[in-house]
Structure 1
Amino acid sequence: MAEPLALYVHWPFCVSKCPYCDFNSHVRETVDQAIWRDALLADLRHEAALLPGRRVGSIFFGGGTPSLMPPATVAAVIAAADRAWGLADDVEITLEANPNSVEVANFADLAAAGVNRVSIGVQSFDPEVLEFLGRAHSGDEARRAIAAAQAHFARVSFDLIYARPGQSLAAWESELQGALAFGTGHLSLYQLTIEPGTRFATLAAKGALVIPDGDTAADLFDATQAMTRAAGLPRYEVSNHARPGEESRHNLAYWRYADYAGIGPGAHGRRLGQATERHKKPENFIAAVERNGHGLKHESDLPSHERATEALLMGLRLTEGVDLTRIEARSGLPRAAFVDAEAAARLMKQGLMRQTGDRLSVTDDGILLLDSILSEVVKTH
């Protein structure tokens, strides 16, 4: 039996653009909902024809702001995926939502459409921080949104951004304690990074925005690990924490390098050794679907070595690490072609990596040095 398939659906529209965001999101005064529903369904049918004989283990509606999608469109996409592939009995269907009350009002209808997990973009409960991050909701709206989500969905996650300019360890510990008190089974906790091309990058270049230095960020990270572990939500990926069994199955499919179909503007996919990418700009995506019956911009065969290195780069983000035998099977290459054994042995001696049988992983001590570890261990050519 083939592994379950993950389906990613991108909804590109937002009410406004956040200054730290480098996702494919667009602000439009009006959106023709019928055209968008039909385009997403056509794009899905194209992928289904190329990936026969699979069952869908997870669907993820990302964005943009997918909680602005009409629930009827969400229901139509879920029904189309079920017709095309069939849904696993325990399918995980996640939708990203903002805490604004307009979107929270849709929660009951989204749950009725089949969504069983929401991921809420809270980022902070502090009004000054929310203003700094360009968020359109208040701390009270965030709290109400989490409570409403817990009433409507079996599983709830929310995001917070920390290691912000001027943030003290005590302030973050207090904020995180409040977040853990909601009792959700999953939390995504991201350190603020300055992404190229964002408004924050412009401010940082002028010296008007300074994020904490490496040592401070490391202290904040260590405190985060200790508190989430104590609360029963250990880290299972660099920034993601879950009660055991409540990990995001959809994101695990990416990190474990399983096949995933990506539909909607700018969506990426990995199917049967091919990389796929859709047109990013909403208008270009719609034009492509009308012209070709799908929104594909590029599809290309991934060379064996690229498949192996991608699997390593994704999988070593996970606490569980990577199964080297699985990467050999998926790439057709021996591990010596993609893992620098000498570098790995040296890092193991330093306590930064470990290997148990065929499983290679980065230790808690190594995770803050992940980028440099990857550059040493992964043979890129």
Structure 2
Amino acid sequence: MSASFVRPVDDEPGFGIYVHWPFCAAKCPYCDFNSHVRHRPVDEERFARAFAAELAHMRQRTGPRAVTSVFLGGGTPSLMRPETVGAVLDAIAKQWTVPDGIEVTLEANPSSVEAERFRGYRAAGVNRVSLGVQALDDADLKFLGRLHSVAEALAAIELARETFPRLSFDLIYARPQQSLESWESELNRAIDLAADHLSLYQLTIEEGTPFFALHAARKFAVPDTDHAAELYRLTQEVTAERDLPAYEISNHARPGAESRHNLTYWRYGEYVGVGPGAHGRFVEDGARVVTIAERHPETWADCVETHGHGVVDGEMLTRAEEADEFLLMGLRLAEGIDLARYEQLAGRPLSSRSVSLLQEERLVASLGNSRLRATPAGMVVLDALVADLAR
């Protein structure tokens, strides 16, 4: 696959390929993703064969398409050998048309970064890396269960900037006892380090994680709703002032450097998901279908070897369900939604009464006559806003 610099983002929803590598060196206490720790070496050849087989199955379902982005997520894909990454990218190119220069992203943890491995990913076709930095404070990194230090994170960022045309990294804020002043300082430091993209997430306590039990036992406390809202407001102000504005609730980029793959999700495009626990959403025989793969890695591989795929669940969406998903995803974006597309999906326009009421409350705003977006105040209560619009 060609690994040249990505084309500028256009406004097409796109057709992406998501590949889920489910293995991690350690499970972070806040994480509810489908990730697994193995104390023996993973059989990468077996999983590469299974990815290739499931990709072939998905090609039969989607038909011929042109891929607009590839995302290798996890888990920790940077635990894969570059040869495995190359085999997966070659398998994608075998099934669909992959134009030169499309965005190919790989998630990496600073603790698993090596110069030789990064060069191998670059040679395999990866042209964008997303680093799970999460904090620029050693005490908070320890609290978050991360295996790297700030020094290792800084080294990984420098190496990524030297190796790949594009770089993003993640930070988690609204951490215990985090003040506005300390977050502003850390955020400015992150922007100084960032090339063109930052993902900034508030710490959430997800059921089923170690943090959920610890939080319930009052072993730590997160900022209350008002303080979290102030941290969010500060985040938007600082990033906008530093020319890294939000293009989505939690994602910030310089113009043209937005994540093409994630825009496919938010613009309600189509994507194939392969690997343990992966989800997909694409049009098949004129209807949008959802695919959900077996979550347990080795069981998923068994399913693929037996049936040619690991899909264990799925559904065909109704027009109303598609329209609701389109609203929920699209209103996360600063660009908002295309009203004509909503009407096409739902079979009806948005309620003018609901829109007017939300405009009066300054929760939504029109962009000309064709688009609607959530205001900063609306972003904070997005789920309720979507529920009001979908009535």
Query: Would you call these one fold, judging by a TM-score over 0.5?
Result: yes
1:19 aligns with 2:36: no
Q: CA deviation at 1:204?
A: 1.2
Q: Read off the aligned partner of 2:377 and give its amino acid letter.
A: D
Match among 145, 152, 166 for residue 134 of structure 1: 145
Residue 144 (1) aligns with residue 155 (2): yes
Superposed counterparts of 1:356-375, under 5 Å: 356=367, 357-375=369-387
1:172 to 183, 208, 212: 183
Contact 1:3–1:54 (CA<8 Å) still a contact in 2?
A: no
Equivalent of 1:310, from 303, 325, 330? 325
Pairwise CA distance, 1:306: 0.7
In 2: Cα distance, 1:98 partner to 1:104 partner: 13
Inter-partner Cα distance in structure 2 for 1:101 and 1:46: 32
Task: Please give the alpha-carbon distance, in whole angstroms, between the structure 2 residues aligned to 1:171 and 1:194.
Answer: 21
Distance 1:333 1:144 in 2: 52
4+ residue segments displaced more than 4 Å: 101-105
Name the SS for the 1:87 alignment partner.
coil
The reply on whether 1:64 has 2:75 as its aligned counterpart is yes
* Structure 1 gap segments, 5+ residues each: none
In the alignment, which residue of structure 2 is the partner of 1:232? 243
Percent identical pairs in the alignment equals 50
Contact 2:13 2:268 in 1 (8 A): no
Deviation at 1:349, TM superposition (A): 1.1
Does the Cα contact within 8 Å between 1:95 and 1:119 map onto a contact in 2? yes
What is the Cα-based RMSD across aligned positions, in Å? 1.4
* Contact 1:344/1:377 (<8 A) preserved: yes
| Higher mean displacement: 340-349 or 249-258 | 340-349
Deviation at 1:240, TM superposition (A): 0.3
* Alignment match of 1:9 (pick from 19, 22, 28): 19
CA shift for structure 1 position 3: 6.4
User: Is 77-86 or 13-22 further displaced after alignment?
Assistant: 77-86
Q: How far is the alpha carbon of 1:88 from its aligned partner? A: 2.3
TM-score between the two structures when normalised by the length of structure 1 = 0.95
Q: For residues 185-213 of structure 1, what are the alpha-carbon distances to aligned partners after superposition, in whole Å with 9 as ceiling and x for unaligned? A: 00000011111111111011111221111
Once the two structures are superposed, what CA deviation does each residue of 1:132-161 show, in whole Å capped at 9, x if it has no partner? Answer: 000000000000000000001000000000
Structure number with greater CO (CA < 8 Å, separation at least 6) is 2
Aligned ranges 1:285-324 → 2 under 5 Å: 285-324=300-339
In structure 2, relative to structure 1, the CA distance for the partners of 1:237 and 1:90 (3 Å cut) is same
CA deviation map 1:208-266 (0-9, x unaligned): 22111111111111111111111111001110000010000100000111110000000
Could you tell me which residue of structure 1 aligns to residue 278 of structure 2? Answer: 267
Cα separation, 1, equivalents of 2:260 and 2:307: 32
Matched, 1:277 2:287: no
Q: Structure 2 stretches of 5 or more lacking a match?
A: 1-11
The match for 1:191 is: 202
Give yes or no for the alignment of 1:77 onto 2:92: no
Give the drift of 1:365.
2.6
Aligned to 1:200: 211
Number of positions where the alignment pairs a residue of Structure 1 with one of Structure 2 = 374
Q: For the residues of structure 1 that align with 2:348 and 2:107, how far apart are their CA atoms?
A: 39
